[in-house]
Amino acid sequence: MQKIVSLCKRRGFVFQSSEIYGGLKSAYDYGPMGVELKRNIIHEWWRAMVHSREDIVGLDASIMMHPEVWRASGHLASFSDPLVDCKVCGERFRADKAPRAEPGSEAIITLSDKGKAKLALEKVAKTIGVELAREGKTLRGAHASDRGYVCSNCGSPFLSEERQFNMMFRTNLGPVDPIGRAVEEVMALIERSPAASPETAAELKTLLARAVTDSAVYLRPETAQAMFVNFMNIVQSNQMSVPFGIAQTGKSFRNEITVEHFIFRSCEFEQMEMEYFVPPGEGPKWMEYWKSERVRWWKAIGLRPENLRLRAHEPDELAHYSDGCYDVEYKFPWGWDELEGIASRTDYDLTAHTKGSGKKLSYFDPEATDPETGKKGWRYVPHVVEPAAGATRGMLAVLCDAFDDSEPSEEGKPQRIVLRLRPRIAPIKCAVLPLVKKDGMPEAGRKIVEEFLAAGINSSYDEQHAIGKRYARHDEVGTPYCLTVDGQTKEDGTVTIRDRDTRAQQRIPVKAALEVVIEALRKG
RNA sequence: GCGGGAGUAACUCAGUUGGUAGAGUGCCAGCCUUCCAAGCUGGGAGUCGCGAGUUCGAAUCUCGUCUCCCGCUCCA
């Protein structure tokens, strides 16, 4: 993994955001190679999901939406989980997932070793004023509070207040600074009740929350909601008939509790989501269809089958909106992890937005038979099957899968690294290299690049350093073909074409080389 | 967020008991070069992560802070 991160920086795929200022956690910038790779992956997705079929149309919605969208979808509620800090071991955990403990029952605190237990003993005595008894690394004598749970790490009942932790990024729409309003509220409150008291604190909290949330909008935590909200617009403007899908790619934002594994989990990430609307009852059928379709696609962009698997969600890990979910998982260097979730969202979202907005979000099929009346013509709320893939994650998986440094290195030479990317997603399709920088070779080379560019093939001309170094550099960014211009080129118009994976070279006319590259792109 | 490790040039790393900052690779300019990162000459490059403290003097010792990596919790 370290090698991949290092290659990404060295060759211009991914840089850490704001690096010269010390970097910003969990934010990454995509360099010249990275932007090509990511766009190519997203483009392949769009081609597979939208352009190569008639039943799916695209959408590009704004990132900020009406705040009621998130209330209706359940994100405002389920993204604000009550978090608690343990005063003994410092662990932060979700109150609703903590171990239950009968109020008043003994709570045994277990630390990782005796030293920590000793320190904890003193800490509890000093800060909380409770004397406990120590036996090795466990502390006895504490009792569970009437909250009914204890620390998920050490078992202590000495906990901070529950705090809401909103996973959505909140900002404020409008030119009026909410801080200004908050200040006014505070000043008014001080005048009303100058003494500090728990009641004043509670009132202050309410006032401040209102000052901030009145103009609050959220950065979308998923692109999906825009597709539900625009359901009727799209049905009516494009005469879509069920089953059909709406596809969208774009950035989403989540305040993750932890960010990790390079670009794998970051607060700002890019999604490729599609909502497929089907008649009630046909959900399972389409789940099966999209499961195989999506795995097929990941293989098509180059991931090895042995590194891909489908995993069914356990009932207890299903999201609030879902009655069935499969993850497409990839075997990353740190283990199996999720690339895409294929979820049956039932009619949850359309129903929720019907309730939230008061607008009817349903579909009328004049041909279908209404199962209740037995008559022709059926109005229903479609069910949704959602393949939601991570573009950012996809790119990391592609990089991991293509990365190859297994070739034994020769004495005294640096390790050869090759990115074995499929031609279609490779940032540069073809590099044109003059063997030496003289005898008209640079001019001939540039002419060839122009020809390739005119044919719509992203190519690059490179004359720096010795030929071997240039080959190595292009191997590292995954360029599938290198054309080398030599002395013979100006005599008979031929070049040598070098295959990245085999390093085999062949002398062919420039025109034939163009055909080879075009054919490779056609195949994938 | 907690525990463990790390941060010195673009990269990989040296740097002695505290005494003015080093190498290789890369990069830039020029020369030379006819096929897989090894030629020659010259050049630029470092707030030693950041901020305090101890000291006559800190890359080196202490504290704080930020960032990254490895383990625990959730998502695409």
List, as one string, the DSSP characters of A343-362.
EEEETHHHHHHHHHH-----
Q: What does the alpha-carbon distance between residue A210 and residue A189 come to, in Å, rounded to a whole number?
A: 14
Contacts of A523 (CB under 8 A, 6+ apart): A423
pLDDT mean over A332-360: 92
Q: Return the pLDDT at A347.
A: 93
Rg over CA atoms, chain A: 29
- Indicate whether A491 pLDDT > 60: yes
Looking at per-residue confidence, does A218 or A163 come out higher?
Answer: A218
pLDDT mean over A228-256: 93
Q: Which nucleotide is nearest to A475 (CA to C1')?
A: B36
Q: Which nucleotide is nearest to A24 (CA to C1')?
A: B67
User: Could you tell me the pLDDT band of residue A73, with boundaries at 50, 70 and 90?
Assistant: confident
Query: CA–C1' span, A19 to B20, in Å?
Result: 30
Decide: A49 and A249 in contact? Cβ < 8 Å: no
- Tell me how far CA of residue A476 lies from CA of A393, A402, A420, in angstroms: 20, 10, 9
Query: CA–C1' span, A453 to B32, in Å?
Result: 32
Contacts of A257 (CB under 8 A, 6+ apart): A165
Looking at per-residue confidence, does A135 or A89 come out higher?
Answer: A135
On chain B, which bases lie within 7 A of the protein's CB atoms?
1-3, 7, 10-12, 25-28, 32-39, 47, 49-50, 66-76
Q: Which residue is nearest to nucleotide B66 (CA to C1')?
A: A22
Flag whether the ipTM exceeds 0.85.
no
- Indicate whether A410 pLDDT > 70: no
Decide: A422 and A301 in contact? Cβ < 8 Å: yes
Q: Which nucleotide is nearest to A319 (CA to C1')?
A: B75
Query: CA–C1' span, A466 to B13, in Å?
Result: 26
How many CA atoms are closer than 13 Å to the CA of A272, on its beta-carbon side? Answer: 25
- Looking at every residue in chain A, the average pLDDT score rounds to 86
Q: Return the pLDDT at A238.
A: 94
pLDDT in tens, A272-330: 999 999 999 999 999 999 999 999 999 999 999 999 999 988 765 666 667 788 999 99
User: Could you tell me the pLDDT band of residue A232, with boundaries at 50, 70 and 90?
Assistant: very high
Q: Return the pLDDT at A192.
A: 84
The region of weakest confidence among A96-100, A151-155, A242-246, A411-415 is: A411-415
Decide: A418 and A501 in contact? Cβ < 8 Å: yes
Contacts of A148 (CB under 8 A, 6+ apart): A100, A101, A102, A103
List the A324-332 sheet strands across, edge first.
Answer: A56-58, A244-253, A268-278, A383-390, A335-346, A324-332, A308-312
Q: What is the DSSP string of A192-240?
A: H--S--HHHHHHHHHHHHHHHHTTEEEE-S-SHHHHHHTHHHHHHHHT-
Q: Which residue is nearest to nucleotide B37 (CA to C1')?
A: A469
Query: CA–C1' span, A458 to B22, in Å?
Result: 42
The region of weakest confidence among A70-74, A126-130, A341-345 is: A126-130
The reported pTM is: 0.84
Query: CA–C1' span, A120 to B65, in Å?
Result: 25
pLDDT mean over A130-145: 79
Q: Which nucleotide is nearest to A316 (CA to C1')?
A: B74
- Indicate whether A79 pLDDT > 60: no
In this structure, what token pair is assigned to residue A183? 């200040």
Query: CA–C1' span, A39 to B48, in Å?
Result: 39
Q: Return the pLDDT at A226.
A: 96
Decide: A433 and A403 in contact? Cβ < 8 Å: no
Q: Return the pLDDT at A136.
A: 76
Q: Return the pLDDT at A317.
A: 64
Q: Return the pLDDT at A52.
A: 96
Q: Which nucleotide is nearest to A341 (CA to C1')?
A: B76
pLDDT in tens, A153-183: 777 888 776 666 667 888 888 887 788 888 8
Q: Return the pLDDT at A212.
A: 76
- Indicate whether A94 pLDDT > 90: no
Q: Which residue is nearest to nucleotide B73 (CA to C1')?
A: A93
In this structure, what token pair is assigned to residue A67? 């705040």
User: Could you tell me the pLDDT band of residue A37, with boundaries at 50, 70 and 90?
Assistant: very high
Query: CA–C1' span, A284 to B28, in Å?
Result: 62
Q: Which nucleotide is nearest to A322 (CA to C1')?
A: B75
Q: Which nucleotide is nearest to A472 (CA to C1')?
A: B37
- Indicate whether A501 pLDDT > 90: yes
Q: What percent of chain A has pLDDT over 70?
A: 90
Query: CA–C1' span, A88 to B4, in Å?
Result: 20
User: Could you tell me the pLDDT band of residue A115, with boundaries at 50, 70 and 90?
Assistant: low
- Indicate whether A363 pLDDT > 80: yes
Looking at per-residue confidence, does A195 or A445 come out higher?
Answer: A445
Query: CA–C1' span, A21 to B57, in Å?
Result: 30
pLDDT mean over A194-213: 77
Q: What does the alpha-carbon distance between residue A182 and residue A413 come to, in Å, rounded to a whole number?
A: 64
